Copies of this chain bind each other. A is one copy, B any other.
């Protein structure tokens, strides 16, 4: 493997000249730069990562702590991982993937050995040991999701509270007064995942504020669980004309199946909204109005915030991404319009 000495020799200059030519940190004569560039090309030279790490401040590697929990929708999880990796590359950063138990213990390892410049945390729970670890390590870090204690942390996430408000208002504005909410699998709430209760609580609060009747139920992921969930909300709200789904795609699809089997027509009999779905609802039947959960936006912003910490101009803070409402025809005026 060619090193900087080889390049210097071929270009007929000293290694420091090569280094400056490549980093651009000092001015170099155009003719010299050209010779160096050519030597680099000829030798297919790339600076040794270890040496750069050792000497320079930067490793150009980020740790991505991404445990995949039971109940987490794998495609959505994947979308976040891919978005982080893609966004990091825009700043010439590579991503070291830490999963499962390594998401915590590996984080300490790679941070203490100065393998990474910064950290991105995915899928934090309300009280996540990784947040304390991040505080302890003192490395630039960004959390995607909002844990209970955000002190000293930089966090970014969709504004799930605002998303819930958006969903409730939409249905209320259309004249619906009895609204159901089908949530994630029960174990997702039990495990302490951060966003499901954020959505649920804001949903219930906004409904109460507007004086509409609501029923919430989680939905286990198998078809029996989905069936039970639909039964639960319809039993609790016999006059239900609006339904919000804060659950993953397969469950959404199953809910629509169950509704269709029961002869309930969307949106004629029931207005349905998909809340915080990572993917398009186009393929659902019918396509659902959706408040998207934009993985790429969250992740891009997370990387930006991490880079800002490198630059030193960033205080720890929590940043919310504004939700949007996409109409696809699954809502219609209700009885109180």
Contact = CB atoms under 8 A, between A and B. Distances in A.
Contacts of A285: 223
Interface in A283-337: 283, 285
Copies of this chain present = 2
Nearest to A76: B74
B110 A86 contact: no
A59 interface: yes
Given A49-B115, A53-B49, A222-B283, A94 B74 contact: no
Contacts of A95: 96-97
A265 B42 CA distance: 67
A51 B59 CA distance: 11
Given A68-B82, A78-B68, A106-B94, A48 B99 contact: no
Contacts of A79: 74
Interface in A91-115: 94-100, 102, 106, 109-110, 112-115
A223 B253 CA distance: 11
A114 to B, nearest CB: 5
A198 interface: no
Interface string A31-68: 00000000000001011111111110001010010001
A232 interface: no
Most chain B C-beta atoms within 10 Å of own C-beta, residue among A54, A81, A113, A223: A113
Interface residues of A, number: 46
Given A50-B51, A50-B59, A82 B106 contact: no
Contacts of A82: 68, 99-100
A96 B61 contact: yes
B1 A112 contact: yes
| 6 closest A-B pairs by CB | A50-B53, A74-B75, A50-B54, A49-B115, A46-B112, A46-B113
Given A49-B53, A68-B78, 16 more contacts: A46-B109, A49-B59, A49-B110, A49-B114, A49-B115, A50-B50, A50-B52, A53-B54, A74-B78, A81-B97, A82-B99, A85-B99, A85-B100, A94-B110, A97-B97, A223-B285
Interface of A: 1, 44, 46-55, 59, 61, 64, 68, 74-75, 77-79, 81-82, 85-86, 89, 94-100, 102, 106, 109-110, 112-115, 222-223, 250, 283, 285
28 contacts: A1-B112, A46-B113, A49-B53, A49-B59, A49-B113, A50-B50, A50-B51, A50-B52, A50-B55, A51-B54, A53-B54, A54-B54, A68-B82, A74-B75, A82-B99, A85-B97, A85-B99, A85-B100, A85-B102, A86-B99, A94-B96, A94-B98, A95-B96, A96-B96, A96-B97, A222-B283, A223-B285, A250-B250
